[in-house]
Structure 1
Amino acid sequence: MFKSILVPFDGSQGAEGALAKAAELSLLCDAELTLLTVYRHHSLLEASMHVVQAEAPDDLDAMMRAHAREVAERGKTLAREAGVTRLRGFVKGGPVARTITGFARDHKNDLIVIGSRGLGSLEGVLLGSISHKVTSFAEMPVLIV
């Protein structure tokens, strides 16, 4: 059925639910599970917060990338605990929905399993959720958990 399943993982409760379902499908289909954590490049608001945080690194993107790596490692641990052995993890920076769908296309994933709600922001409320955008951009089936 499915050979390669992509699960975007931001560490949220919704992402954990999607990861659990993706792990289940991976085991049922003997499919490889690919976990992707996407971080956005810092905004002006985040840059202004940087001024207040004296111990923050000079490069906010590096800090966000490091946090994304921690989140991805946590997701990989959860997937392994669910019994998944064919597992890969990636961290990418960029616009979240476009990065997810571009990654899925480039890596020939044949299913995306995504949580209905993640660590969204006010932007998500005003412009639509990441999961909704992924369904609009994706060239393969998307399962929203």
Structure 2
Amino acid sequence: MSEYDTIVVGTDGSKSSLLAVERAALIAAAFDATLIIGCAYYENKEEASKTLRQESVTILGDDIAAENLAAGKAHAEKLGVTKVETAVRAGTPVQALMAIVNDNNADLLVVGNRGINSLTGRLLGSVPADVARQSDCDVMIVHTVN
């Protein structure tokens, strides 16, 4: 396994996404890596409704995203991560995560498995499947929901 210097993990504030944050935090602590916790948001309901695939958690506005990031950061710090950053981006979760990964030249992207086994996920795609296809870095899909 290669050494990871920069790890990105996505959160939407849900319990399952915090499980992905936890896994990413443990890896970051083991490698003394920088952990960047990212969150996507839609600027308004019209932007959110433009997406073909409705995410199970839709975050409207960067205030809610900032709250989710603060909770994720506190959780990661409790697990021993000393270098934690946060990043928020407008857009779909896939667009936001890929921008954060690329902007920070990340070595690893960690996401939960929500949506990957659903009928909608199989027909239209899911965040974990889409980022795995688009990412140039390693992707870890954490089993966070059944």
- TM-score grouping bracket, smaller chain normalisation: 0.7 to 0.9
* Unmatched tracts of structure 2, length 5 or more: 50-58
Give the structure-2-normalised TM-score: 0.78
Answer whether contact 2:87 2:100 (CA < 8 A) is retained: no
Shift of 1:101: 1.2
* Alpha-carbon distance, 1:40 to partner: 2.5
User: 1:101 and 1:45, CA in 2 relative to 1: closer, same or farther beyond 3 A?
Assistant: closer
What does residue 63 of structure 2 align with? 66
Structure 1 unpaired stretches of 5+: 48-60
1:130 aligns with 2:132: no
Alignment counterpart, residue 20 of structure 1, candidates 1, 15, 22: 22
TM (norm. structure 1) is 0.78
Ranked by relative contact order (alpha carbons within 8 Å, sequence separation 6 or more), the top structure is 1
Q: Distance in 2 between matches of 1:137 and 1:13?
A: 25
Q: Is the 8 A contact 1:40 1:93 kept in 2?
A: yes
Higher helix share: 1
SS state at 2:61 partner:
helix
User: Per-residue CA shift, 1:80-114, capped at 9, x if unaligned?
Assistant: 11111111011111122022112201211110011
How do 1:88-103 and structure 2 match up within 5 A?
88-103=85-100
Paired position in structure 2 for 1:77: 74
Structure ID, larger Rg: 1
Instruction: Tell whether 2:143 aligns with 1:141.
Output: no
Alignment counterpart, residue 38 of structure 1, candidates 40, 55, 58: 40
What is the CA deviation profile of residues 13-37 of structure 1, one whole-angstrom value per residue up to 9, with x for unaligned ones? Answer: 2211111111110111111101001
Question: Which of residues 84, 88, 107 is equivalent to 1:87?
Answer: 84
| Residues 15/2 of structure 1: CA separation in 2 closer, same or farther (3 Å cut) | same
State the secondary structure of the residue aligned to 1:41.
coil
Secondary structure in structure 1 of the residue aligned to 2:30: helix
Which residue identity is paired with 1:140? C
